[in-house]
Structure 1
Amino acid sequence: MNDNALTRHARRGAAGEKLSPPGLIDTARRNDPAVVIASYVGFALVSAVISVTTLSTTLQFVLGIASYIAWGFLALFYLAIGTPTARGFAIWGIGLVGAILAVVGAFSALFTIFTYNAVDTFMATLEEYDLAPSRAGYVARFVVFTIFAVTYVYGVVQLAKLAPEFRAYDQQRAQQQSSSGYPGVQTTWPQTATPWTPNAAPSGPPAGPPPASPQSGVTPPPPPPPS
């Protein structure tokens, strides 16, 4: 069975369980498209600014590691929301895209390691030569990017295996929402009185003389025979 910390977290979110922090998760579930898209675009803009900013080699490397970790926590937040939109962004928008970028970064660092002498000669002609990483720096980048690539690919594969369970949770949630109706709107109408129909047989006991009173001692005459 596909059971680990990641899949259990995803199952609980898809089932609509109360996850921490409950107030934030409940609010995000009620407004999942706006919350998911706004947070995703915000993270993407910050990551783009970091990637194009000229910083020291060490600082840019540290910020890159922090970016991958932040995106991972954002994916966990989306899985806690548990809606199809949030889950899709977590698996494909963060997991798959992050895995591709990490693989590209790992191969780029590996290529630079094997061609370091030529790259170092070329970088020496540029003004930013002092910002270029050393061979050890490229080795560290290769190791880190490989770790992130394996982690993200593993997460995508594990969550993709839960697709049938996610569809079942989504169908169950849709049925619950349709049965509960909209809040504040009466979905069960009161029963109205039976409309009057001409020539309908009268309801109640047949017409006739009233029953005898036990105090009077007088027996009423029998009712006339039917015509």
Structure 2
Amino acid sequence: MTPSPLSTFTIPVYPLVLKFLSSQYNTEPFTLGGYSNPYAGFLYNSLDRYCHFDTRLPRKYSRLTAELTIGIPAWVQRYGAGAKLTPQKISVFNDFVRQMFFEKMAEEVTLRMSYGMGIKASVERFLNRYGITEEELSLQTALRYYARNRRSMCSGSLAADSTPVMPIDCCPVSPDAEFVILPHERDSTQWQMESGRRQVA
């Protein structure tokens, strides 16, 4: 059966967003066919939803320096969905994908730390897997996002009997100061102070 032709256009995205999506799905083009994946579904549901706020250009729009090619099947257009996405919808989509990226990073880094890997090495390994450069996302910024999402992961919830339930079994606490060198991450001879006032080399 011959697949339906696609109408394609490009939208601006963060380089991080393009690399993250490309690692998981076909982005040549990124087809919006309903709910084939949560990201395509998000955009699909945004096609025909507009309001007067969508005429505004988000301030961060200039930071979307990469391009993602979107493919819309003929049947989607035939049933009334819009053919384009407004800058506001594109910005919201970028925020959504970035948040999923950081949540995935927090889960993986927390797991690696529970097995003894340092926070810096864990975050670096995650960024390297997706080819994220320092210019696209600095290590210090990634560490701040990790700390923010880790707190959310470890906040817990209540079960039916009001017993606190932790989302994950082990939530290592990140260091209070970003300059802390953990014992298993010693890569210099400079002396620093670890939490608890204990010196490490």
| TM-score of the superposed pair, with normalisation by structure 1 | 0.22
* Greater fraction helix: 1
Higher relative contact order (CA 8 A, sep 6+): 1
| TM-score of the superposed pair, with normalisation by structure 2 | 0.24
If you compute each CA radius of gyration, which structure gives the higher value, 1 or 2?
Answer: 1
